[in-house]
Amino acid sequence: MSSLEERICRQLTDIQEKHLLRSPVITEVQPDGMCTRDGRELVNFGSNDYLGLAAVSGTGAATGLGAAASALVGGRSAAYDRLEAALAEFEATESALLFPTGYAANLGVLSGLIGKGDAIFCDRDNHASIIDGARLSGATFLVYRRQRLDALRIALSQRRAESECCVIVTDGVFSMDGTMAPLAELCDIAEEYD
């Protein structure tokens, strides 16, 4: 298990022991500002859907699409749960997590998993959303060039001892020129330095 995985497990255990783990509840949006949660019909005060447009026939009412609060506040759509379960099954993994955009995914994942005391090694040609997520994380931000993996190794060897976690972040295919990242070599380097 990598140092990042170990830290995530420790943090999750700590949250559970303090009874602070929050889980979204399935909520069915209904017309006229109502919703059903745990079998109870409620007035929906936790939504950003002030006009009730998400529940109007033909606008996504069947799937709960539309303006809403966060899943922890307003509840989750059963359709999203089914889609995440189908994606996880397709990928043969424990679970999947949907984000509304690729930009939101890059910001959320990087700033959510990496933080102060860590180091992010970011390819200089990464998409702007990856760079933004890396910078928002609060980690030490270092740039490498995929054409110079020897320099990446040296930088990792220098930073590894002083960083709790070191993470290499890259595009798979670089949108600016269509070149592919040397993923096999990057994975080997990542395993070498944890």
The answer to whether residues 24 and 110 belong to one domain is: no
Q: What is the pTM of this model?
A: 0.74
**pLDDT digits 0-9 by tens, 29-43:** 776 778 888 899 988
Looking at 80, 98, 116, the residue that finishes a domain is 98
The answer to whether residues 35 and 74 belong to one domain is: yes
- State which residues of the chain have pLDDT below 50: none
Pairing of strands 34-37, 40-43: antiparallel
Contacts of range 99-102, beta carbons closer than 8 Å, 24 or more positions apart: 102/127, 102/129
In the DSSP assignment, the letter for residue 167 is E
Contact 71, 98 (CB under 8 A): no
The answer to whether residues 87 and 118 belong to one domain is: no
Contact 129, 110 (CB under 8 A): no
Looking at 63, 98, 133, the residue that finishes a domain is 98
Average confidence score pLDDT of the chain:
87
The answer to whether residues 127 and 148 belong to one domain is: yes
The answer to whether residues 5 and 94 belong to one domain is: yes
- Number of domains forming the structure of the chain: 2
**pLDDT digits 0-9 by tens, 170-188:** 999 998 889 999 999 999 9
The answer to whether residues 2 and 92 belong to one domain is: yes
The answer to whether residues 62 and 149 belong to one domain is: no
Instruction: Tell me what pLDDT residue 100 has.
Output: 85
Instruction: Tell me what pLDDT residue 27 has.
Output: 83
Full residue range of the structural domain in which residue 157 is found: 102-192
The answer to whether residues 15 and 92 belong to one domain is: yes
The answer to whether residues 10 and 91 belong to one domain is: yes
The answer to whether residues 145 and 170 belong to one domain is: yes
Give the Å distances, CA to CA, from 49 to 37, 41, 44, 102, 129.
17, 17, 9, 24, 28
Q: What is the CATH number of the domain that holds 145?
A: 3.40.640.10
Looking at 49, 74, 98, the residue that finishes a domain is 98
Instruction: Tell me what pLDDT residue 172 has.
Output: 94
